[in-house]
């Protein structure tokens, strides 16, 4: 059976192309060897389950590993303590039976507890069994529990965590698990819960014994390259593995689902088309641009989950909107609940003390979402739709003409608007104008290192061609000249000789329009509104 890139469920090395997890597993095992209890809390589809399954195999020689999945337990299992104990005993039995070197006598106490239908079973009963088992076991026992946040809104689950905590604290007296690992999206150490309809949300920390989990779960460019080398052995595409790996990382920041998705699109959707007749043509920078466009337009479960969180957390929407459109610098303060929620769901990350959008794919999805919400009422978007045919000449995007028309339209619609309003809204209006022009054929994204309240560089991909347009607030001639030099350096990075600059100038004596400026061996098309 030929291997393929998997984006649905757990990845398996014998049938899927996947990153080698050994370096990550080695670091996790070091925590287990030290007897640490911890939580792996990462956003949806970040490889938690795949990592736990690989970890189970990795630990086999040194530990007995019991892997549970709380998602398989129903709400009725948490209604009463005895029901939870019986179901937990049953799940333990299944794992014991699947582990060949566990002696049969270890099975009987859990079987008796599972068969006890008196309704009097307590958590203490099963923890007594855990202690006896750990004392008699020939190897230390590690407990892995996946999807624990599905049970977290429940007092019995919190009592279960408290029992694990107590066993950990008494481990010098009473034998217990070598390590307990909980996997979830939500951070169990500070989980919000609501136990009754009339009760306010509370914060509970029954898991304050957990060690900090510092293993980086994202994929590095080098790890992506190793995966592509395996693919290349099978298909001999002639791709530049190092370059393609770097480009994939630049778009995804190593988010596992996004990495696999781009690779899957290149292999299964881009290759063997009219524009990319074989895999050799697909695994190129141009092919990756097309794969990125397909991924961004896909309404997959990850994007649905992310955008759904914006409805559940309106304050999160405001934070992300400000980051994207106004260039507002937001300090990364994990104690801030808005930042904590955004990190937990995978929207943002820490970049040298500042909160930034996690990756370029998420950024593009959010841009599209926020802009789409303004389509119906946006005169700028209407103008872009009405005039879009004039901006593409023989398949090439005429960015100068786009700027000329935008200046004309913006001045007509907003020439007398309040300065503060335009500072925050100007760049959003340009993206509203641009979006219908490139929609379906091109894509645009913002280079994160240039995004601030003063300027940001917009990269427009259209039919394999890239155009760089700096959007900035006018701060005088000296500032403008520095901006020209910055843009010139950025063009060098992309190997381009022509760039574009759009300045929002609130000086009443300004001269609006578009002009051409020679700067060394480059040409800058500058527009002022």
pLDDT, tens digit, for every residue of 141-173?
999 999 888 776 678 888 999 999 999 999 999
Distance CA 19, CA 231 (A): 11
Instruction: Mark which of 253, 275, 296 sits at the end of a domain.
Output: 296
Residues 260-288, mean pLDDT to the nearest whole number: 97
Q: Are residues 50 and 141 in the same domain?
A: yes
Quick one: average pLDDT of 413-422? 68
| Total count of domains within the chain | 4
Confidence class for position 124, pLDDT limits 50, 70, 90:
very high
Q: Are residues 414 and 450 in the same domain?
A: yes
Give tens-digit pLDDT for 346-364: 999 998 898 889 999 999 9
Sheet holding 442-446, edge to edge: 442-446, 455-462, 465-473, 498-504, 522-528, 513-519
Per-residue pLDDT tens for 349-405?
998 898 889 999 999 999 889 888 877 667 888 888 887 788 998 889 999 999 999
What is the average pLDDT across 248-272? 97
DSSP state of 331: B
Residue 133, pLDDT > 90, answer: yes
CA distance 524 to 517: 5
Q: Considering the domain boundaries, does residue 216 fall inside one?
A: no
Residues 277-308: tens digit of each pLDDT: 999 999 999 999 999 999 999 999 999 998 88
Q: Is 28 helix (H, G, I), strand (E, B) or coil?
A: helix
Whether the pLDDT of residue 193 is over 50: the answer is no
Q: Could you tell me if residue 62 is inside a domain?
A: yes
Mean pLDDT for the stretch of residues 267-278: 96
Of the three residues 252, 270, 296, the one that is the final residue of a domain is: 296
36 in the same domain as 174: yes
Cβ partners under 8 Å of residue 427, min gap 6: 325, 327, 456, 471, 504
Q: What's the pLDDT at 423?
A: 61
Q: Which long-range contacts (CB under 8 A, 24 or more apart) does 503-506 make?
A: 503/472, 503/473, 503/474, 503/527, 503/528, 503/529, 504/422, 504/423, 504/426, 504/427, 504/471, 504/472, 504/473, 504/474, 504/529, 505/474, 505/529, 506/419, 506/422, 506/423, 506/473, 506/474
Which residues constitute the domain of residue 318? 301-360
Residue 74: which pLDDT band, with cuts at 50, 70 and 90? Answer: confident
- CB contact set of 92 (below 8 Å; sequence gap of 6+): 66, 68, 110
E strands in 306-358 = 348-351, 354-357
pLDDT value, residue 82: 93
φ and ψ at 459, to 5 degrees? -105, 125
Residue 370 lies in a domain: no
Virtual torsion, Cα 12, 8, 236, 284, nearest 10 deg = -140
The confidence score (pLDDT) of residue 195 equals: 37
* Interatomic CA distance for residues 303 and 323, integer angstroms: 19
In a domain, 7, yes or no: no
Residue 215 lies in a domain: no
> How far is the C-alpha of 426 from the C-alpha of 419, rounded, in Å?
10
Q: Sorting pLDDT into bands at 50, 70 and 90, what band is 200? A: very low
- How much is the pLDDT for 384? 80
């Amino acid at each position: 059976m030929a291997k393929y890139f998997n984006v649905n469920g757990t990845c398996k090395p014998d049938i899927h192309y996947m990153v080698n997890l050994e370096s990550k597993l080695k670091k996790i095992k070091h925590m287990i060897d030290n007897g640490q209890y911890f939580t792996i809390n990462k956003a949806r589809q970040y490889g938690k389950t795949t990592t736990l399954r690989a970890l189970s195999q990795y630990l086999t020689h040194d530990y007995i590993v019991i892997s549970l999945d709380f998602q398989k337990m129903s709400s009725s299992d948490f209604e009463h303590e005895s029901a939870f104990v019986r179901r937990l005993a049953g799940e333990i039995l299944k794992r014991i039976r699947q582990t060949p070197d566990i002696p049969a006598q270890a099975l009987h106490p859990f079987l008796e507890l599972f068969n006890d239908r008196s309704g009097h079973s307590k958590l203490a009963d099963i923890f007594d069994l855990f202690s006896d088992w750990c004392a008699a076991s020939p190897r230390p026992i590690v407990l892995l529990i996946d999807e624990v946040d599905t049970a977290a809104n429940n007092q019995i689950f919190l009592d279960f965590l408290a029992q694990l905590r107590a066993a950990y604290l008494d481990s010098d007296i009473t034998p217990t698990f070598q390590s307990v690992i909980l996997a979830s999206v939500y951070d169990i150490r500070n989980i919000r819960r609501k136990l009754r309809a009339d009760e306010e949300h509370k914060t509970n920390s029954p898991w304050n014994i957990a060690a900090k989990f510092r293993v980086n779960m994202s994929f590095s460019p080098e790890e992506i390259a190793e995966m592509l080398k395996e693919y290349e052995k099978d298909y001999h595409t002639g791709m530049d593995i190092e370059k393609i790996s770097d480009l994939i990382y630049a778009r995804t920041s190593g988010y596992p689902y996004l990495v696999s998705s781009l690779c899957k699109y290149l292999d299964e959707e881009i290759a063997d088309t009219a524009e990319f007749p074989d895999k050799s043509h697909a695994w190129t920078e141009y092919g990756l641009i097309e794969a990125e466009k397909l991924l961004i337009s896909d309404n997959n479960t990850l994007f649905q989950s992310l955008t759904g969180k914006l409805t559940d957390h309106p304050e999160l929407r405001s934070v992300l909107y400000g980051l994207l459109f106004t260039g507002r610098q937001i300090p990364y303060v994990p104690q801030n609940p808005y930042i904590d929620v955004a990190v937990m769901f995978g929207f943002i990350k820490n970049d040298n003390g500042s909160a930034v959008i996690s990756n370029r794919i998420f950024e593009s999805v959010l841009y599209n979402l926020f802009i789409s919400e303004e389509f119906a009422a946006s005169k700028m978007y209407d103008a872009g739709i009405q005039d879009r045919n004039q901006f593409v000449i023989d398949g090439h995007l005429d960015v100068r003409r786009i700027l000329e028309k935008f200046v004309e339209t913006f001045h007509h619609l907003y020439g007398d608007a309040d300065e503060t309003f335009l500072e925050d809204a100007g760049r959003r209006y340009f993206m509203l104008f641009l979006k219908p022009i490139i929609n379906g054929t091109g894509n645009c994204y913002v280079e994160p290192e240039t995004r601030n309240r003063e300027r940001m560089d917009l990269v427009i991909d259209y039919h394999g061609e890239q155009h760089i347009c700096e959007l900035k607030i006018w701060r005088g001639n000296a500032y403008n000249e520095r901006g020209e030099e910055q843009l010139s350096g950025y063009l060098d990075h992309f190997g381009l000789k022509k760039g574009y600059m759009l300045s929002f100038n609130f000086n009443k004596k300004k001269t609006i329009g578009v002009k051409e400026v020679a700067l060394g061996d480059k040409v800058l098309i500058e527009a002022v509104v």
